[in-house]
Amino acid sequence: MRVAIIGNSHFGQILFRNLSSYDKDNSYIFYNTSEKKFDKIKFFINLPFIDIVYSVGATIYGGGALNWALKFNKKIVQHFIGSDVLSAQEDFKNHNINKKLINQSRYLCEVNWIKDELKEIDIEADIKAIMIYDKFIEAQKFKDFSVLTYMGKGKEKFYGVEDFIKLAKAFPDIDFKIAGIDSFENLPLNIECLGWIDIIEELQQSTVFIRNALHDGLGFSVIESLSLGRITFYNYNFPHVNYFEDYNSLKNQFIKIVDDKKLKVNNESIAFVQENFNRENVLDNLIKAICD
């Protein structure tokens, strides 16, 4: 099968490289149709010779490349990866729905909560991972108790900065660190902004990792934390995490962790990542979903 990969340029190019090197029975090419005019032209020229269009990032409304795939009656596979679900929900609310596109597409998503959100807008999706994790290194034992999170610059509120500050103020003797940003206003003295760092190295020095996004697909930092056996707090219910619904839930569970004098690296979470997010498992399942 000849597969054209379109959509999210970051994940699309990563998947193109992984699928091309791993799968010798099918051929893949990535077209950056969302950002490059020349790729749009190449996609249109080559479309008659393409068997499958796989979009990393999904829609129920359509777009240029997907609309052309419809006109040429191509098999379409669309993969929801996070914020595109919010766009689909908005399109559904406003009746911006392309029924032909929906009927001709096979939809995929990464996790069960995205699958449930899609059911609410009448989209059935199969759960297939796209994230490959192969940086398996020996997890270091816990040393000094510290807490790490990640936030994008300008998106601090989206990543729960207010709850993080409240938690740090409630535990002034514990070090809290934020990867991804260099500074933020009115932080207590026990919060340090690390900027852009090697998060694996910092996770090795941390006891707890917190992911508290307003909306999430599957945060890569969660998988990184679990792969190192860190105590992982996540506001989505996922295997081997400490699931919390709000700040009070987070704080109450955090107190138990702080008071636990026998904290150990979570070997079960390490094994979970190794089994479910290794290269062979992820790509075999994805290839079946795209090409079968």
Pick from 77, 119, 120: nearest CA to 285: 77
Map residue 220 onto helix, strand or coil: helix
Where are the domains positioned within the chain? Answer: 2-132+277-291, 146-274
Instruction: Note the pLDDT tens digit of each residue in 8-60.
Output: 999 999 999 999 999 999 999 999 998 999 999 999 999 999 999 999 999 99
Cα distance between residue 188 and residue 192, in whole Å: 9
2-132+277-291 and 146-274 share one fold: yes
Which tokens hold the place of 171? Answer: 């535990």
The residue-averaged pLDDT of 138-154 equals 95
Q: pLDDT digit string (tens) for 94-118?
A: 999 999 999 999 999 999 999 999 9
The answer on pLDDT for 63 being more than 90 is: no
Closest to 160 measured CA to CA, from 228, 270, 235: 235
Let me know: does 256 contact 262? Beta carbons within 8 Å. no
pTM comes to 0.92
Q: What percent of the chain has pLDDT over 70?
A: 100
Q: What pLDDT shows up at residue 235?
A: 98
End-to-end alpha carbon distance in the chain: 10
115-136 confidence digits (pLDDT tens): 999 999 999 999 999 999 988 8
CATH number for the domain running over 2-132+277-291? 3.40.50.2000
CATH number of 146-274: 3.40.50.2000
pLDDT of 18: 97
